[in-house]
Amino acid sequence: MKVFTCWRAVSVAVALSVAALAAEAADLVIAGRDDIYGQGLAQAVAGYRKLHPGTDIELLKLPGNNLYQKLKLSMREGTGAYDLVMMDDTWSPEFIANGWLKPLSAALVDTDMVESTVSLGRAPSGGLYALPIVGNVEMFAYRKDLLAGKGLQPPKSWDDVLKIAHTIGGADQGVSGVVFRGTKGNPVVTGYLPILWAYGGDVVDASGKVSIDSPQALAALKMLIALKAAAPKDVDVYGAAEVRDALQKGVAAQSIEVWPAWIAALDDPSKSRVVGQIALQSPPGQVKGPAPMLGIWQMGIPTDAPHAKLAADFLAYLTSPTTQTQLATLGIPPTRRSVFADPALVRQYRWYPDQLKALEAGRARPRVKDWQQIEAILGDSLQLALTGQLAPDVALRQAAQKISHVLPVVSG
């Protein structure tokens, strides 16, 4: 055990030393995401270098979980490894509460930025610590042609969604009435939250107490289980790939969850059999109005950033209308109203007006210090109910009990 502990300590020290050396070697070190977000950041870095020749910028492009762990390690140890850090909006409450991020100037924000996205970078006191750079928001999809063929209107409530699912799914055995991600953890929680909020429930209430075992939460879970009956038989193990595949093949009438990164392929003839037939809107309401889930990616400056002034200048460039427009052409959803209204982009992405409406009405996941742990607990319980291994009320009660043990530690 002593040998393992020693080896681990040495490994951590080496990793921190390497990161620190990288920070000293460049004028600006950015820790960002991989995939399309990494492509967008690389393009922004290239554009900034043209305006500031000779500026040495190092861009790290990392998978989400790896990025989170590296950021926590570096900022907790005060290594000064990074000047700018990209964060999921559920990470920033933890980073802000721990004092790991510098306060940002209010001058970095203007009225063109969608306020629902900006607010996620604020501390409870109102101070600004992060800016939104990716305007992700969860949307609802339905087949216009299938609804029109049955004389059905787009759903305004989850009751409507269930009615449409039974009507279309019952009439056409080749088409499921609805599809969603049922895999435990983040996938099933992400689909459940807009239903939960529409029924007036929440995971954690305004006072910071667990509220997932409420009558509203139970009604929402019963709705999700009712929808499963009109979904593919193995929907409880569906992930993003299966949902996208069902939509593109035209074998699903509705999807309770779609994200901007999934949408473009629906209008691509080489990938989709339903080009032009998928309509998007905010998830329906029920007792309360629609509450699309926000999935914003942010950028902040660590308190130990060696080049904080240059970092703030790059952040202003990254969130500018020009750069946000350039990123949008790659398929990265913007955080500015003017970009959503750009005529060329609206021609490219016909769903932009509806996406902006969803973003403006969007709701954040609970602003606690470790949402990932709470989400894992809730996701396990939801899937147990979805697969019939636990009664819905028992599943939620067990989730509430487990979360209550975590929450005091999480929320400090």
Which residues lie closer than 8 Å to 120 by C-beta, 6 or more apart?
89, 92, 130, 132, 294, 296, 298, 364
Largest CA distance in the chain: 70
Q: What would you report as the CA-atom Rg of the chain, rounded to the nearest whole angstrom?
A: 22
Distance from the Cα of residue 294 to its chain's centroid = 6
Q: What is the mean pLDDT of residues 82-91?
A: 97
Q: What is the mean pLDDT of residues 102-129?
A: 96
Mean pLDDT of the chain: 92
The whole-number pLDDT of residue 145 equals: 96
Helix/strand/coil percent split, the chain, to 5: 50, 15, 35
147-203: per-residue pLDDT in tens?
999 999 999 999 999 999 999 987 667 899 999 999 999 999 999 999 999 999 999
Flag whether pLDDT at 222 surpasses 70.
Answer: yes
Adjacent-strand bridge partners of 30 = 59, 84
One fold for both 2-136+295-360 and 139-293+368-411? yes
The whole-number pLDDT of residue 207 equals: 86
Query: Can you name the CATH fold of 139-293+368-411?
Result: D-Maltodextrin-Binding Protein; domain 2 (3.40.190)
The whole-number pLDDT of residue 169 equals: 85
Neighbours of 76 (CB within 10 A): 11
Q: Any idea what DSSP says for residue 292?
A: P
What is the CA angle 227-229-233, rounded to 5? Answer: 115
Q: What is the mean pLDDT of residues 127-131?
A: 98
3-state secondary structure of 183: coil
320-372: per-residue pLDDT in tens?
999 999 999 999 999 999 999 999 999 999 999 999 999 999 999 999 888 98
- Kindly report the CATH number that applies to the domain delimited by 2-136+295-360: 3.40.190.10
The ranges assigned to domains in the chain are 2-136+295-360, 139-293+368-411
- Cα 231 from Cα 226, distance rounded (Å): 9
Flag whether pLDDT at 24 surpasses 70.
Answer: no
3-state secondary structure of 365: coil
